[in-house]
């Protein structure tokens, strides 16, 4: 019997009542603050997607002056020590990279509005007078001088801080030659086919940070307890190096509200060239948060890896074309083969191929999938030491957004698994402090609170009252419903039924590599555009 046939308008009304009665969370508390991140400022057209025009900046400053309280980094630090309280709707303004346009165009505007700001400089670029390759066509924009930095610092409006000495670039981080941020990933040497050691990475990062702090102290006479990481990318080792040098505050480029009670990771919104004044004014109301309905897919590495790098890159290219066309916003990549071998370097299992990181990089940077996670079946977490080392290696060598623990088909001890999942999250966050975690399958006694997302099957075999309760549970934004995978034709039918119940976060459990109903995917799995991200102007 199909219970959905018995669902009437009264049932839909009951569901609506349950949703409407859910209380809203408080949107503000004492010492909350937003952080805006700017880069280049131009008189006419922005040099790239990260720049703004002087007109845009002036419009945004005008709005901030009338509606918000712009605070200094000193205000934030004092509030974190309990020595003052930030005003409501506090905003901290930051500019990155050390471009001369800040002195020529932004600084006069700051003086006019009496706005304080943080200016993060790359020491080597200041020393050289220009960036080696800023991404502009046929031009490397000039940098400020130390004398100009000293003048702005002495004004009391500008806090000059570190953006590293010479780590505002990428380097090769996997055997396939892909690049990632220097401060966030170990170097991979293509000649020796070996990774930089953790010890050498830590020493390299610490020496770089120390040099920039020395230069700022020499030329400016004042250092701040923070580091603005290039690209917002770092790891637990670079975080430790900065902390040991007196910079415990780590500035990222993740959007979101901050509070002075937690400054080890500070969110910042990059203000982009396509932001109209309405985009800016609407976005800042919610700290530029944007949660599109989840359209998640599963990527099967066993069907992608076909025995050699060259042949596997062909299958990966097909996956990229498909993902770029469909545009899901969440991908779960199989980190282990069906035989229990790893697809990443680790001492804990036989390594089938170092291919996981390559696939994740392609999905993030070419297919433009918003969030990419590793799937870790629970049966591979053997004991505390094994779990710690296995997840440490997964985090160290790969660029993903976190882990989904998978209990499907795992004959495991519930109490043991709860402890090992907790151990795994601890090990992952020691290397990637910004990682999030998800769970797919039966959760035993594990609740939903540790996880950003939870994927579960929807139970239709319930009474009408239990069905209402189930629907309400899936209204939680972290809950993602797994579509029926018994038959390919069953997926669209299952999707329609669940949409009719008001659900909107979906996961395709059938391998995305082989799922052939492209019209269904194009119509229903093309994720909504984030108006605050790079390329949003092109997508609208």
What would the DSSP string read from start to end of 139-190?
--PBBPPHHHHHHHHHTTSEEEEES-SS-SSEEE-STT--EEETTTS--EET
Task: Report d(CA 370, CA 328) in Å as an integer.
Answer: 8
Task: Please name the residues in contact with 158: beta carbons below 8 A apart, sequence gap of 6 or more.
Answer: 107, 110, 116, 117, 118, 119, 149, 152
Q: What pLDDT, on the 0 to 100 scale, is given for residue 487?
A: 62
Q: What pLDDT, on the 0 to 100 scale, is given for residue 540?
A: 26
Packing angle, helices 464-474 and 9-20, rounded to 10: 40
- The 10s digit of each residue's pLDDT in 7-53 is 333 323 333 333 333 333 334 578 999 999 999 999 988 888 999 99
Task: Report d(CA 115, CA 418) in Å as an integer.
Answer: 49
- The 10s digit of each residue's pLDDT in 492-533 is 989 998 999 999 999 999 999 999 999 999 999 998 889 999
Burial of 428 (0-12, 13-18, 19+ CB in 10 A): buried
Packing angle, helices 146-154 and 198-219, rounded to 10: 70
Whether the model clears a pTM of 0.85, i.e. scores above it, the answer is yes
- The 10s digit of each residue's pLDDT in 124-155 is 999 999 888 777 766 788 999 999 999 999 99
DSSP state for residue 477 in the 8-state scheme: T
| Token duo for residue 273 | 């060239």
Q: What pLDDT, on the 0 to 100 scale, is given for residue 528?
A: 81
Packing angle, helices 309-326 and 356-365, rounded to 10: 30
**What are the C-alpha distances in Å from 105 to residues 52, 56, 242, 277?**
11, 12, 31, 19
Q: What pLDDT, on the 0 to 100 scale, is given for residue 132?
A: 81
Q: What pLDDT, on the 0 to 100 scale, is given for residue 281?
A: 98
Pick out the chain residues at pLDDT < 70. 1-28, 137-138, 410-412, 462, 485-488, 535-540
């Amino acid at each position: 019997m199909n219970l959905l046939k018995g669902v009437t308008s009264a049932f839909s009304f009951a569901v609506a009542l349950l949703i409407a009665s859910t209380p809203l969370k408080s949107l503000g508390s004492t010492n909350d603050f937003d952080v805006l991140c700017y880069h280049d400022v131009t008189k006419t057209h922005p040099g790239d997607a990260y720049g703004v025009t002087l007109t845009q900046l002036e419009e945004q400053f005008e709005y901030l002056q009338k509606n918000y309280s712009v605070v200094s980094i000193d205000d934030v630090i004092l509030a974190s020590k309990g020595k003052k309280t930030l005003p409501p709707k506090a905003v901290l303004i930051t500019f990155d990279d050390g471009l001369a346009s800040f002195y020529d165009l932004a600084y006069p505007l700051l003086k006019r509005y009496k706005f304080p700001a943080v200016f993060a400089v790359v020491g080597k670029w200041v020393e050289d007078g220009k960036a080696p390759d800023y991404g502009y066509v046929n031009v490397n924009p000039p940098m400020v001088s130390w004398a100009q930095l000293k003048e702005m610092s002495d004004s009391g409006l500008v806090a000059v801080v570190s953006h590293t000495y010479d780590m505002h670039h990428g380097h090769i981080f996997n055997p396939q030659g892909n690049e990632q941020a220097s401060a966030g990933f170990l170097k991979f040497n293509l000649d020796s086919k070996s990774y930089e050691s953790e010890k050498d990475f830590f020493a390299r990062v610490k020496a770089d940070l120390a040099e920039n702090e020395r230069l700022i102290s020499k030329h400016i006479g004042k250092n701040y307890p923070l580091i603005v990481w290039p690209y917002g990318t770092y790891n637990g080792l670079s975080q430790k190096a900065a902390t040991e040098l007196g910079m415990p505050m780590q500035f990222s480029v993740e959007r979101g509200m901050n509070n002075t009670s937690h400054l080890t990771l500070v969110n910042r919104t990059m203000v982009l060239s396509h932001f109209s004044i309405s985009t800016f004014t609407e976005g800042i109301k919610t700290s530029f948060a944007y949660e599109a309905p989840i359209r998640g897919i599963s990527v099967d590495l066993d069907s992608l890896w076909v025995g050699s790098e060259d042949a596997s890159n062909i299958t990966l290219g097909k996956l990229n074309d498909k993902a770029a066309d469909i545009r899901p916003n969440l991908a779960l990549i199989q980190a282990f083969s069906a035989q229990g071998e790893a697809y990443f370097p680790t001492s804990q299992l036989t390594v089938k191929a170092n291919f996981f990181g390559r696939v994740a990089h392609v999905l993030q940077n070419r297919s433009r999938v918003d969030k990419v996670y590793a799937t870790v079946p629970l049966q591979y977490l053997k004991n505390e030491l094994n779990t710690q080392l296995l997840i440490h290696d997964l985090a160290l060598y790969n660029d993903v957004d976190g882990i989904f623990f998978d209990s499907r088909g795992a004959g495991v001890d519930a109490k043991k698994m709860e402890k090992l999942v907790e151990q795994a999250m601890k090990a992952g966050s020691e290397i990637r402090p910004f990682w999030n975690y998800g769970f797919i399958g039966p959760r035993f006694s594990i609740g939903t609170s540790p996880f950003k997302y939870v994927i579960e099957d929807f139970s239709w075999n319930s009474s009408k009252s239990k069905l209402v309760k189930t629907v309400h549970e899936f209204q939680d934004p972290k809950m993602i419903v797994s579509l029926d995978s018994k038959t390919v034709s069953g997926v669209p039918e299952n999707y329609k039924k669940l949409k009719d119940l008001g659900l909107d976060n979906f996961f395709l459990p059938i391998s995305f590599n082989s799922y052939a109903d492209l019209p269904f995917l194009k119509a229903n799995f093309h994720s909504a555009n984030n108006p605050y991200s790079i390329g949003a102007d092109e997508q609208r």
